[in-house]
Chain A
Amino acid sequence: AQTVTQSQPEMSVQEAETVTLSCTYDTSENNYYLFWYKQPPSRQMILVIRQEAYKQQNATENRFSVNFQKAAKSFSLKISDSQLGDTAMYFCAFMKQGGSEKLVFGKGTKLTVNP
C-alpha cells in the first residue's frame, strides 16, 4: 500500500515571500502520478500541480513549482511570490497508474499567508 506523509501540519509565510511545503511518499510502484491539491475554506479541492513519475523535469505552473526527487521519494511544493489567496490547506497526493487510479492523500499542511 502507498503512504503519503506531510510533516508540516502548519506553516506561515509573509505576502510576496517564498514558501516550500514538504511531502514524502512510500511506494513500490514505478508508474504513478503525484499531485498537490489546494483546499480553501470553501472545501473545494483544487488541483495545483501534477507530476508524472516518468518525467525527470519538475512541473511548473506559474508561481507553483515542485522539486521531485524520485529516488528519495520526495515531492515538495514551492510557492513563489505568496499571495493572500494562497491561504488554504494543501494536500499532497499519490496515484498509481492502472486499476482504479484512486488518490492517496497526505494529512495536509495548513498554509497561512500574512499581509
Chain B
Amino acid sequence: GAGVSQSPSNKVTEKGKDVELRCDPISGHTALYWYRQSLGQGLEFLIYFQGNSAPDKSGLPSDRFSAERTGGSVSTLTIQRTQQEDSAVYLCASSTRGLRYEQYFGPGTRLTVT
C-alpha cells in the first residue's frame, strides 16, 4: 500500500512569509507525528495527533508554529513569519493506535528560509 507522503518535497521561502507543509498518513493510521530535523538540533518532536483526542503540542518551538489534522487524516503544519532558524527538514510519521511503536515516516519536506 501507499506509504506516508509529504508535500512539497522542497520549499524555499523568504523570511517573514508563511508556509504550509502537508502530510498524508497511511490510510487507517490514527496517530500522526511531526518531527523537525535540523543541523543544530538534530531530530526533535513537534506535535502528535491521535484520533479525536487533543493533540500533544509540547514540542512546538514557538507560537509561530501550528498544526491541524482534518478528518483524522491529512495534516498541515503551518509556520508563520518564517525565520532563518526554521530552515530544516520536516518529517511526518504515522502509526496505528495499537502499534504506536511502529512509526512509518514520510520523505520529509526540506524548508529553506532565505
Q: Does A45 belong to the interface (CB within 8 Å)?
A: yes
- Chain B residue nearest in CB terms to A95: B101
CA distance A100 to B45 in the complex (A): 11
Q: Does B72 belong to the interface (CB within 8 Å)?
A: no
Q: In the assembled complex, which residues on chain B have CB atoms less than 8 Å from the CB atom of A91?
A: 43
Size bin of chain A's contact surface: 20 to 34
A43 touches B89 (CB 8 A): yes
Given the known interface contacts A43-B89, A106-B42, the answer about A101 and B100 at a Cβ–Cβ threshold of 8 Å is yes
Q: In the assembled complex, which residues on chain B have CB atoms less than 8 Å from the CB atom of A108?
A: 42-43
Q: Which of B58, B101, B105 contacts A45 (CB 8 A)?
A: B105
Given the known interface contacts A44-B107, A47-B102, A95-B101, the answer about A100 and B56 at a Cβ–Cβ threshold of 8 Å is yes
Q: Which of B45, B50, B91 contacts A104 (CB 8 A)?
A: B45
Q: Does B35 belong to the interface (CB within 8 Å)?
A: yes
Residue numbers of B with Cβ under 8 A of A are 31, 33, 35, 42-45, 48, 50, 56, 58-59, 89, 91, 93, 100-103, 105-108, 110
Residue numbers of A with Cβ under 8 A of B are 33, 35, 42-47, 50, 91, 95, 99-108
